[in-house]
Amino acid sequence: MRLRALDGLRGVAAVIVLLHHSLLVVPSLAAPYFGEPVGGGAGVLVYTPLHVIWAGTEAVYLFFVLSGLVLALSANSRSFHWSSYFPSRIVRLYLPVIGAVILGAVVIALTPAAQPDDSLWVRRRPGDYDLPGLVTDALLVAGTSGRITPLWSLQWEVLFSLLLPLYIYAARRIHAGVQIATYLALSTLGAYAGVFSLKFLPMFGIGVALATAWDGLSDRISKLRPRTAAVAWTLALLVAVLMVTADWTTRSFLPSGPGRLLMLPVILVGVCVIIVAAAHAPLVTRLLSSRPFAFLGLISFSLYLVHEPIVVAIERLIPTPAFVVFVAVPVCVAVAAGFWYVIERPSHRLARRMKARTDEKLRLAV
């Protein structure tokens, strides 16, 4: 089962991550991420719902939930076989990652060192890519080196992919609402305890739980009258944006500490609303299924993997940090398109051949 609108949504999320890193080269926009408050125009972009256009962390959460949903829907199809899933999934993930690590190492080697007046985010980027870092990033499961920061999420993507049978087992025996509530609680507990596996792996489970309720949810939504549905979707998306940006919009009046952890389940529920709207709200679905968004969805994984070293390199060439985003976005999209053609598309083809070969052997054995 494939929902084109969800591919488009994945493309939007990848662009948001690109915008996130492109704007972090601006010192005043990077400062809040390191605990330094800002005001003025920067404050508007940071502390209002406008933050949604560059909410990189929240976009990664959306990737996690969306991955859980899509893989679970695939696992529930009649053509799915675990014996072919594992090798094909590993190939689809690891070959592009290895290609991105090699490309990133080259770009980092050619990028001049950061300067004292650069943003704190730029200054904290590692200036070299040694062999241990290359090996760590290529393997993923033991963590990442920090040279290409988007790779941190791939560690959890790989682990979730390997643990998918356990998620599916639980999903078939526990009510979807109970699953979602449990995963929200576990993720919040993981954030409080500083246990990253407990924080991030339940986010995938939320997507798996959504998949178990997907058909029933779709049936109920289809029964809404068009005028009622239009109003409901408009309000739902407005509320979802407020929820997704809640961690930033509440900072002026909600003190730091354990209470702020309550923003995490709020964000994740907002992410779920956006995913459901993307697949069911007619106008949103048509928009995300259009050619431009379909293209972004096609290259979304490549764009996510390759963009950060390129953004930092462009920052070294442009004297005004605020202008970096206008150059970085088209350049990164172009490089990602080339990366998809040269690296990601062949890896997908190899994965499909492996799956078809394994499925054929299984069919003959039966």
Give tens-digit pLDDT for 116-126: 889 999 999 88
Percent of the chain residues past pLDDT 90, beyond the cut: 84
The mean per-residue pLDDT over the stretch 139-162 comes to 94
The pLDDT tens digits for 8-43 are: 999 999 999 999 999 999 999 999 999 898 999 999
CA 16 vs CA 53, 99, 121: distances in Å: 6, 22, 17
Rounded CA-CA distance 353/204 in Å is 27
Show the tokens assigned to 108.
């980092």
- Does residue 216 have a pLDDT over 60? yes
Mean pLDDT value across the chain: 94
Contact 202, 240 (CB under 8 A): no
pLDDT at position 361, please?
A: 75
pTM for this predicted structure: 0.96
pLDDT at position 1, please?
A: 44
Show the tokens assigned to 110.
């050619």
- Does residue 345 have a pLDDT over 50? yes
Lowest average pLDDT, out of 73-82, 213-222, 297-306, goes to 73-82
pLDDT at position 132, please?
A: 92
So where are the chain's domains? 4-365
Rounded CA-CA distance 219/214 in Å is 9
- Does residue 209 have a pLDDT over 80? yes
- Does residue 2 have a pLDDT over 80? no
The mean per-residue pLDDT over the stretch 302-324 comes to 96
- Does residue 230 have a pLDDT over 80? yes
pLDDT at position 366, please?
A: 58
Show the tokens assigned to 76.
């529930």
**CB neighbours of 306 closer than 8 A, spacing ≥ 6?**
100, 103, 104, 332, 335, 336, 339
The mean per-residue pLDDT over the stretch 63-84 comes to 93
For 281, phi then psi, to 5°, come to: -75, 120
